[in-house]
Structure 1
Amino acid sequence: MTTAMTRRHTVTARIDTADTAPVSDVWTATVYMNMHRDNFDGYDPHHPLAAAIRRDDSALRLVFRASDRIRNHEDAAEAAFEVGNLHGADDNGQTWPGNIRSVSVGDVIKITSPDSRTVHLSVDSYGFTPVPEPTTLVDLTGPRVTHRD
């Protein structure tokens, strides 16, 4: 015996995504240099920080494309640390300026993911630790931070 069943009406919609901008695959990094005299002892929220800048006083923003190497905020921070220690360039070929010291323990790296989520990570002796957004920023366009010998 067969039983007759009524089928519910379905509606199929076509979604046109041609006008939708593609999601960016870019991770950006901004390094905040710890300006406190005890910066190598680690980051403290009361330490003054200054954003790393280029020779022309514009903000230094490192760019990394999402890849097998860059999959999360920590991967992007590690890549920024490598560039900041003169071990390469970002994905746009930008290298670390010679007029500022290398990225060190106590500095903070701001990472923005492709989905615009921002995380601040302090540079530790080994790895990174999430920290709140720094509030003690100072302007570095005056005297330069120089390499320590």
Structure 2
Amino acid sequence: MTTALHRHTVTARINTTDAVDPAPAPGVYTATVFINTGRRNFDGYQHHHPLAEVTHPDGSPLRLTFHASPRIKDHEDAADAAYTVGNHQGPDDNGQMWPDDVRSVSTGDVIKVTCPDHWIIYLSVDPCGFSPVPEPTTLVGLAGTRHTSRH
């Protein structure tokens, strides 16, 4: 006994003009600045130097945000943008300004950048550019402590 099977093909047409934009929303880089409070701090960062996280006047952590764009393409661009904000040269992408009572970001400080994929890198501020460093372990004067210039 033989049985015949019939196969049917079903096709669907998708109207792409009504489809949701498939491009993902731009990623966001978050930068946290740690001010070097050690002696000779402007000579460059060393892993044993004490660092203090920059905070808002109310003591909450200052998180600078930058949207991925032609200007912000990677973690170094985000660190450079944080450096610019940290030198009172404008706001981050959410309009957040650098606190007036916190010294400017300088050589010897560290910028933590959290990338859109949640990858984290720590970069020391060098006389020209940035260098990756291990996660700092000597944190002092956290939330609520104000950091003033020592120039």
**Deviant stretches of 4+, over 3 Å:** 140-143
Paired residue for 1:80, among 78, 82, 89? 82
Q: CA RMSD in A?
A: 1.7
CA deviations on 1:88-132 (whole Å, 9 max, x unpaired) are 100000000011101000000000110000000000000000001
Deviation, structure 1 residue 142: 5.6
CA distance, structure 2, for counterparts of residue 51 and residue 83 of structure 1: 15
1:70 aligns with 2:72: yes
CA distance, structure 2, for counterparts of residue 143 and residue 133 of structure 1: 21
1:128 aligns with 2:110: no
Distance 1:23 1:132, change over 3 A: farther
Gaps of 5+ in 2: 1-19
What TM-score, normalized by structure 1, do the two folds share? 0.82
List aligned pairs for 1:18-37, cutoff 5 A.
25-37=27-39
CA distance, structure 1, for counterparts of residue 29 and residue 142 of structure 2: 24
Gaps of 5+ in 1: 1-17
The equivalent residue for 2:15 is none
What TM-score, normalized by structure 2, do the two folds share? 0.81
Identity %: 60
- Looking at CA atoms only, which structure, 1 or 2, has the larger radius of gyration? 2
1:109 aligns with 2:100: no
Secondary structure of residue in 2 paired with 1:137: coil
The question of whether the paired residues in 2 share the 8 Å contact of 1:23 and 1:114 is answered with no
